[in-house]
């Protein structure tokens, strides 16, 4: 049998994953594909922006799909012209942030009595420049 079919996600470390990142309450002028993709580059490797973001149909947050390196701390916030904006990640609840394995965070054997990598790192801020018109 092919080795790929024998892969058990509960036993192997996941080094990167695709995740939707929500850029919370950003200014309306940044609700375009170019600006959101530039912000996405600060998070990881951006792949796409959702339709509601690219059309401006939803203005409470923008969504960008990014590939993130799970060995690095996740960016929790960024700045635009000195104003702090927060990032919320969708779908990471099944990956242990301590060891990178596929588990419910509270059910991973490495989590008991330990602090997650994310908790150990201070908040990271970055600056996003004004998008080009």
- Phi then psi dihedrals of residue 102, to 5 deg: -80, 100
pLDDT at 6: 65
In a domain, 112, yes or no: yes
In a domain, 93, yes or no: yes
> Domain range holding 118?
3-128
In a domain, 101, yes or no: yes
pLDDT at 60: 92
In a domain, 68, yes or no: yes
Q: Angle at the Cα of 77 (from 128 to 38), degrees rounded to 5? A: 35
In a domain, 111, yes or no: yes
* pTM of the complete model beyond 0.85: no
Q: Are 15 and 69 in contact (CB under 8 A)?
A: yes
Spatial neighbors of 26 by CB under 8 A, at least 6 apart, are: 39, 61, 62, 80, 85
pLDDT at 62: 96
In a domain, 43, yes or no: yes
Return the bridge partners of 85, or none. Answer: 78
State the 10-residue block means of pLDDT for the chain, 133 residues long: 57 80 92 94 96 90 94 87 92 68 62 43 42 48
In a domain, 133, yes or no: no
In a domain, 67, yes or no: yes
The alpha carbon of residue 81 and the mean position of all alpha carbons in its chain are separated, in whole angstroms, by: 22
pLDDT at 122: 33
pLDDT at 115: 43
How many domains does the chain fold into?
1
């Amino acid at each position: 049998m092919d080795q790929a079919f024998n892969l058990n996600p509960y036993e192997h470390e996941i080094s990167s994953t695709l995740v939707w990142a929500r850029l919370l309450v950003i200014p309306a002028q940044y609700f375009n594909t170019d600006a959101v993709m530039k912000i996405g580059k600060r998070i990881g490797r951006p792949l796409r922006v959702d339709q509601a973001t690219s059309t401006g149909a939803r203005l409470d947050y923008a969504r960008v799909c990014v590939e993130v390196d799970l060995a690095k701390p996740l960016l929790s916030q960024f700045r635009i012209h000195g104003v702090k904006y927060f990032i919320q990640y969708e779908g990471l609840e099944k990956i242990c942030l301590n060891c990178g394995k596929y588990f419910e965070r509270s059910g991973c054997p490495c989590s008991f009595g330990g602090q997650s990598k994310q908790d150990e790192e201070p908040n990271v801020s970055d600056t996003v420049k004004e998008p080009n018109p």
